[in-house]
Amino acid sequence: MKALILVGGYGTRLRPLTLSTPKPLVDFCNKPILLHQVEALVKAGVNHVILAVSYMSEMLEKEMKEQELRLGIRISLSHEQEPLGTAGPLALARELLTENSDPFFVLNSDIICDFPFAAMVQFHQHHGQEGTIVVTKVEEPSKYGVVVSEADTGRIHRFVEKPQVFVSNKINAGMYIFGPSVLRRIQLQPTSIEKEIFPVMAKEGQLYAMELPGFWMDIGQPKDFLTGMCLFLQSLRQTQPERLCSGPGIVGNVLVDPSTRIGQNCSIGPNVSLGPGVVVEDGVCIKRCTVLRGAHIRSHSWLDSCIVGWSSRVGQWVRMENVTVLGEDVIVGDELYLNGASVLPHKSIGESVPEPRIIM
């Protein structure tokens, strides 16, 4: 089977992290976002992954070559000259997708969940129609476009954008399976699959919704990235608790790379992921944070709801909170307070940032 992953552009919503690293390669819970999806696809029998990208990155190409070898699959990059929306990339990859007549996966690249790929294949075969989309329940459907479907079969009746009265609490989770015949609906031009293709398919009775059990999050921006991390770690607690860390000073769900070093009298967690080579000195308190590879947190600092970029250095007695994001190789001086700061790579911070802002 094949899978097309809609990687898209520069990942501006996840800046400043994506100024240094293409979004698919940003580590989420110590694994590149893309690999969470690719590894799950491979498990479900996918042997050819096509990445639809609208910009070229040597870093991404190189990494994908390595993953091809490691996973024993084929990875292709399908490069859009101009952004083609969420449907156009299917047309661009038409040749690759029609090498055989198997159905194929299409995924948004920003989502994280317990990927239900095997169940999707089953569901798709069971209803036998052209397309399956995965839906997830939300608490406040009025903020999203919702999917109205038959309760027992999942056949989709219609889509309602930002419903003012309750019609459904299920939203598109950004994961699909299509039969190759879907490609006849899509031209090689900027097209929205959600707005232009799905409504037609639903009308024709060709589109079915499979409800996703468990958690789901779009992690395309820092705030949601952290929320997604909390959900993912909680899911690990249930499915693979042995991967989580425990011991003195560890509170709740904490993921720590074996090469991470943590000092004395720290309080780490709940909901923390510490990447490879990270150093946390004595007396540090970290909660609800992602600390990326090679970062160094000096003693007695306090971090809540932050993403610390690769190789960044956080000084002593620093307080960082409220979705502060440090890009790569940022240095935060001793005793500073960062509130919702978004710090671009290679920056050295010598003054507190008491109100949320971007540090160029």
**Rounded Cα distance, 6 and 222, in Å:** 19
Does 282 bind other proteins (CB under 8 A)? Our answer is yes
Nearer to other proteins, 37 or 301 (CB): 301
Applying CB under 8 A, which part among 109-117, 162-170, 222-230, 277-285 lies near other proteins? 277-285
x/- site string to other proteins, residues 302 to 341, per CB under 8 A?
x-x-----------xx-x-x-------------x-x----
The distance of closest approach from Cβ of residue 356 to other proteins in the complex, given in angstroms and rounded to an integer, is 12
Please name the helix (run of DSSP H) or strand (run of DSSP E) that holds residue 65, with its range, or none.
helix 58-71
Nearer to other proteins, 34 or 323 (CB): 323
Binders of other proteins in range 70-109 (CB under 8 A): none
> Among residues 16, 32, 228, 283, which is the contact residue for other proteins, using CB under 8 A?
283
Phi, psi dihedrals of residue 322, rounded to the nearest 5°: 60, 55
Active site residue 162: yes
Enumerate the β-bridge partners of residue 177. 105, 132
Tell me which amino acid residue 5 is. Answer: I
- Neighbour count for residue 312 (Cβ, 10 Å): 26
Tell me which amino acid residue 276 is. Answer: P
Answer for the pair 324, 341: CB distance below 8 angstroms, yes or no.
Answer: yes
**Rounded Cα distance, 344 and 354, in Å:** 17
Applying CB under 8 A, which part among 98-106, 200-208, 281-289, 290-298 lies near other proteins? 281-289
What is each CA distance from 26 to 32, 34, 36, 264, in whole angstroms? 5, 8, 11, 29
Structure tokens given for 71: 């996973």
3-state class of 176 per DSSP? strand
**Rounded Cα distance, 171 and 162, in Å:** 10
Among residues 143, 162, 195, 287, the one annotated as catalytic is 162
The distance of closest approach from Cβ of residue 302 to other proteins in the complex, given in angstroms and rounded to an integer, is 5
Nearer to other proteins, 132 or 301 (CB): 301
Binders of other proteins in range 157-216 (CB under 8 A): none
Look at residues 186, 212, 54 and name the one whose alpha carbon lies nearest to residue 123.
212
> Among residues 60, 106, 112, 285, which is the contact residue for other proteins, using CB under 8 A?
285
Nearer to other proteins, 146 or 303 (CB): 303
Does 265 bind other proteins (CB under 8 A)? Our answer is yes
Nearer to other proteins, 55 or 317 (CB): 317
Residue with tokens 């190189």: 62
> Among residues 299, 331, 333, 346, which is the contact residue for other proteins, using CB under 8 A?
299
C-alpha torsion angle, residues 339, 343, 349, 355 (rounded to 10) = -30
The distance of closest approach from Cβ of residue 216 to other proteins in the complex, given in angstroms and rounded to an integer, is 30
Catalytic positions, please? 162
Site residues, other proteins (CB under 8 A): 265, 267, 282-283, 285, 299-300, 302, 304, 316-317, 319, 321, 335, 337, 354
